[in-house]
Amino acid sequence: MDKIENDSKQISYSKVNVKQSDDRMSKKYRLLMLTTLIISGCSMCYELIISAVSSYLLGNSTLQYSITIGLYMAALGLGSYVSKYFKKRLFNVFVVIELCIGIVGGMSAILLFLANIYIENYDIVMYIEIILIGVLAGAEIPIMTRIIEEDEKNLSVTLSSIFSFDYIGGLLGSIAFPLLLLPKLGYFATSFLCGLLNIIASMLIMWKFGDRVINIKRFRTIAVTIAIFMVTGMIFADNISSGIEGGLYRDRIIYMEQTKYQKIVMTKHRDDVRLYIDGNCQFSTDDEYRYHEALVHIPMNEVDNCSKVLILGGGDGLAVREVLKYDEVKKIDLVDLDEEMIRICSTNDNITKINENSLKSDKLSIHNEDAYEFLKESDEKYDLIIVDLPDPNSESLNKLYSNMFYRLCGKALSDKGVFVVQSTSPYFATNAFWCINKTIESEGFNVKPYHLQVPAFGDWGFNMASRKELTEDIKFKVETRYLTEDNVVALFKFGKDEIASDVQINRLTKPMLMDYYNKAVEVWD
């Protein structure tokens, strides 16, 4: 009986000792755990920055994010493996890791943009950045584990604490980047900020464990110097952005803003103003009237007594301008996800001069929401639906070119209503153009494809659809600058090199269009 009692006391004492050990570890290494959270959060932001910038510059976001995730995970494993070769001066190694991640990550965005302008093999720079950040982050946890284990001898507590902070940091970084950092700071300031956080983490380690860092004064000097550089980069991020992005555009940049959803850039050369979204030209004032006349007036000809019009996209107000030429139109609903796009095109003198303040019309109601969701929830019936969305170069945009989206368009059409879709170039992206055509047709619509030359874009195409039969006998009801009843006949004719028959339908579950489009972009580049 006494033996059992003694064993019980022994177990109790052991538990108390373990708890006291855990408490000592928690207090002593709390700051070290915090650096784990910082490194993990910042590393996640770096990888998201690399993926987003590469998608912005190269397109094909699925490919860019997939490559980044795959390489990063492999690099984490490589870093973990390499860490076993560091056996001495582990605090010095840990500080060096923090400093290196801060430098590489802090410079990641600016180096990618410079590589895109000045280096032919952009991909190499991208891969090097991903691997370096991954290797450094991968070496962090094993080295930290060994540092703590040298004192605590409690592996289960050490690993559980470290991994907890590591995973929480990754979560915080993945949430903060799209919701806060990118919309408020942009690519450059965000990468500089994350770099600064890594440097601050190294300073905290040197402050708390300075007696265990050899050559502490030298490391402190290096850390302060890098921190000053990162702060300077944050302060002048907009100036750096203007200078570097100027190399991406042909003309002088007169306006630039990163919204929650996209990067909006406006350039000007003499009287030609151009608007870009995520690097893709949306219009040039020299010839935009050609595009918008074809987009609006040709389908408008097919509608008798058009009183209600829905425009999906078209936040620049140029399609609205053309629709407002018809007195018979009583109501226009404009659906554009980005309210900042509407604000810019409602207030910027360069745009309001072109759209003739159409976004302030009493006939217009603006809805800042996703076009797909708007159609799902709407019970309205429209005589004309104009789908003026950016090209399908991402998953979110591809959804707005799917068979299900066109089914929703059909639900929102009046019995004799018509809808029209901007459909990229039948010459440069032949398969993509005819994929859109076949996808609309698969939902039971009569479809009429047509195209015209827009100097800023080249040969550009549209698909007009309705439940009723469509004609090619166009009689314009309003004044036009380009279209005539004679030249419009040619818009419905296609050359042999502009026709593709062996294309698949674009479905939500099988996004073929994005593949067709991205392959065409590779050829353009």
Question: 493 exposed, middle or buried (CB, 10 Å; 0-12, 13-18, 19+)?
Answer: exposed
And the tokens for 157?
């507590």
Q: Helix 122-152 to helix 30-58 angle, to the nearest 10 degrees?
A: 170
- Yes or no: say if 359 and 485 are a contact pair by the CB < 8 Å rule: no
DSSP track, 376-413 = HH----EEEEEEEPPPS-SHHHHGGGSHHHHHHHHHHE
Question: How far apart are the C-alpha atoms of 285 and 354, rounded to whole Å?
Answer: 7
Helices (H), 318-461: 318-323, 339-347, 349-355, 371-377, 395-398, 403-412, 430-441
Q: Helix or strand or coil: residue 7?
A: helix
What are the beta bridge partners of residue 263? 258
CA 154 – CA 25 distance, rounded (Å): 9
- Looking at this protein, which amino acid is placed at residue 49? I
Per-residue b or e along 352-367, where b marks 16 or more CB atoms closer than 10 Å to that residue's CB: bebbeebbebeebebb
Distance CA 295, CA 426 (A): 15
Residue type, 352: T
- Is 388 one of the catalytic residues? yes
CA angle 121, 122, 123 (to 5 degrees): 90
Give the active site residue among 383, 388, 459, 515: 388
Q: How far apart are CA 321 and CA 235, in angstroms?
A: 40
State the CB neighbour count (10 A cutoff) for residue 274: 22
Strand 382-388 with 308-313, pairing: parallel
Tell me how far the alpha carbon of residue 377 is from its chain's centroid.
Answer: 26
Rounded-to-integer distance, Cα 279 and Cα 286, Å: 19
Tell me how far CA of residue 27 lies from CA of 30, 155, 166, 400, in angstroms: 5, 17, 18, 53
Contact 466, 384 (CB under 8 A): no
For residue 161, is it left (φ>0), alpha (ψ between -120 and 50) or beta? alpha
Q: Which two tokens stand for residue 405?
A: 């989206």
What residue type is 81 in one-letter code? Y
What residues are labeled active site?
Answer: 388
